């Protein structure tokens, strides 16, 4: 990219990345929200996605540690509170565990990560490495997938409630708070990116950072689709009947 984009042109390019590359287009996502997933596939999605959810406050802590300006750190630390909560049982991670609990999965097994697909682990490690090693501007830009998440959350929630009799509204409590949080966070990150991507090189870097994040989320779904729709999970990864909650094992 040789020419400097205006702020509006840069935003349009970033939104175009989401329109073309965000995982709302992934076949497994479409399968999930249309009711075509088996219960095992839904369980595998929730269990693997937990590993990503759990890394989000770690990612934000890494970004926070790289910020020199308190005025930048103050709003960013709210992201950590949103996921970790102010107290035990509060926050986005606890709400995700409500989802896996309601699916009958053992909380200890989910939190251990030992049943996650290798590709899920590698994706999470890759994301944490990216925000540590890239520039602060690129790390912040990678969070801009939140520009696109409110619409996928609405579609996913409506589809899962309509199509799976084992899903209740309270099962999907995680998604209730996220659209407002994502809008707040993406507004802040987008303003920062537009203010600091002031050369063609920096603008190309933030576009590439968002492309990287979209690719990471897409790769996680590629792995799920391959393992649970077309082939077999890797040795040691989640299979039907694995990671059951103790009370369900006792009743079997």
Residue 116 belongs to some domain of the structure: yes
pTM (2 d.p.):
0.95
- Count CA atoms within 13 Å of residue 27 on its CB side: 8
Residue 249 belongs to some domain of the structure: no
Would you say 76 and 60 are in contact if contact means Cβ atoms under 8 Å apart? yes
Residue 24 belongs to some domain of the structure: yes
Residue 248 belongs to some domain of the structure: no
- Number of structural domains, the chain? 1
Residue 1 belongs to some domain of the structure: no
Residue 251 belongs to some domain of the structure: no
User: For residue 205, what pLDDT is reported?
Assistant: 99
Residue 96 belongs to some domain of the structure: yes
Which residues span the domain enclosing 193? 7-235
User: For residue 249, what pLDDT is reported?
Assistant: 52
pLDDT band at 248 (very low <50, low <70, confident <90, very high): low
User: For residue 61, what pLDDT is reported?
Assistant: 98
CATH of the domain at 107: 1.20.910.10
Q: How far is CA 201 from the centre of its chain?
A: 27
Q: Is the pLDDT of residue 1 over 90?
A: no
Which residues fall within 8 angstroms of residue 209, CB to CB, at 6 or more apart? 130, 134, 138, 139, 141, 142
pLDDT tens-place string over residues 210-220: 999 999 999 99
The whole-angstrom separation of Cα 86 and Cα 146 is 22
Spell out the SS3 assignment of the chain: CCCCCCHHHHHHHHHHHHHHHCHHHCHHHHHHHCCCCCHHHHHHHHHHHHHHHHHHHHHHHHHHHCCCCHHHHHHHHHHHHHHHCCCCCCCHHHHHHHHHHHCCECHHHHHHCCCCCHHHHHHHHHHHHHHHHCCHHHHHHHHHHHHCHHHHHHHHHHHHHHHCCCCCHHHHCHHHHHHHHHHHHHHHHHHHHHHHCCCHHHHHHHHHHHHHHHHHHHHHHHHHHHHHHHCCCCCCCCCCCCCECHHHHHHC
Residue 185 belongs to some domain of the structure: yes
């Amino acid at each position: 990219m040789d020419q400097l984009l205006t702020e509006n042109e840069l935003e349009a390019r970033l939104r175009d990345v989401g329109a073309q590359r965000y995982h709302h287009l992934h076949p497994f996502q479409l399968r999930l929200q249309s009711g075509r997933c088996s219960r095992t596939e839904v369980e595998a999605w929730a269990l693997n996605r937990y590993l990503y959810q759990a890394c989000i406050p770690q990612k934000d802590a890494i970004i926070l540690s790289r910020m020199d300006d308190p005025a930048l750190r103050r709003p960013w630390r709210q992201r950590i509170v949103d996921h970790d909560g102010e107290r035990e049982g509060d926050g986005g991670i606890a709400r995700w565990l409500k989802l896996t609990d309601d699916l009958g999965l053992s909380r200890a097994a989910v939190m251990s990560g030992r049943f996650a697909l290798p590709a899920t682990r590698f994706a999470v490690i890759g994301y944490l490495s990216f925000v540590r090693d890239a520039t602060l501007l690129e790390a912040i830009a990678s969070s801009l997938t939140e520009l696109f998440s409110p619409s996928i959350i609405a579609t996913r929630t409506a589809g899962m409630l309509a199509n799976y009799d084992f899903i209740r509204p309270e099962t999907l409590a995680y998604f209730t708070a996220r659209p407002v949080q994502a809008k707040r966070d993406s507004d802040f990150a987008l303003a920062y990116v537009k203010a600091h991507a002031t050369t063609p090189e920096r603008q190309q870097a933030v576009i590439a950072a968002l492309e990287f994040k979209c690719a990471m989320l897409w790769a996680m779904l590629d792995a799920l689709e391959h393992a649970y729709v077309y082939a077999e999970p890797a040795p040691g990864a989640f299979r039907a009947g694995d990671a059951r909650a103790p009370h369900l094992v006792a009743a079997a």
